[in-house]
Amino acid sequence: MNRRMTSGQLVVWRSLMDTTNDLRRVLGARLLRETGLSPADYQVLLALSEADRRRLRSSELADAVDWERSRLSHHLARMERRELIRRDECATDSRGAEVVLTEEGARRFRAATAPHLRAVREHFADALSAEQIDALAGILGDLRQHLKGDA
């Protein structure tokens, strides 16, 4: 089917993209300013903090944060120099590595969580009514379900 999007649909699509980018920019700048962690650092630390024994194979971490492996490798090197993570040889596969959340990484993640969630509340949740949050939850759920069907 070759249906074109309406001008109204295109306006809403562009608004979604612009608003998402604005939120990422504002929240990322505030996270860095208040905690010294970049959004990418926080994303990696979050994934590791939720993992069993605070460790993931590199390939699993790449999937969890939805990054290309080369991007992840470069970023992990920077995080390792700051002692936020360490890379260990994988006990079950000599070719693989496990990324481990260090005590320093866990401490920095915990310290960043409250300010980050406060910023999310201020710049996202406080801007919407309870009804709008509920409507957005439904819309996002429908979109995710639709995308799963396309996968």
CA dihedral 69, 72, 74, 79 (to 10 degrees): -160
pTM of the predicted protein model:
0.87
Indicate the pairing of strand 85-89 with strand 55-57. unpaired
Residues 73 and 58: their CA atoms lie apart, in Å, by 8
> What domains lie within the chain, and their CATH numbers?
36-118 (1.10.10.10)
Task: Give the pLDDT confidence score for residue 150 in this predicted structure.
Answer: 76
Angle at 123 between CA 117 and CA 125, to 5 degrees: 75
Task: Give the pLDDT confidence score for residue 97 in this predicted structure.
Answer: 86
The pLDDT profile of the chain, 151 residues, written as one tens digit per residue, is 668 999 999 999 999 999 999 999 999 999 999 999 999 999 999 999 999 999 999 999 999 999 998 899 999 999 999 999 999 987 776 667 899 999 999 999 999 999 999 999 999 999 999 999 999 999 999 999 999 987 6
The pair of structure tokens assigned to 93 is 């596969």
- Helix (H) or strand (E) holding 57, with range, is strand 55-57
Task: Give the pLDDT confidence score for residue 96 in this predicted structure.
Answer: 74
CB-CB contact of 9 with 17 (8 Å): no
Task: Give the pLDDT confidence score for residue 93 in this predicted structure.
Answer: 67
CB-CB contact of 101 with 83 (8 Å): no
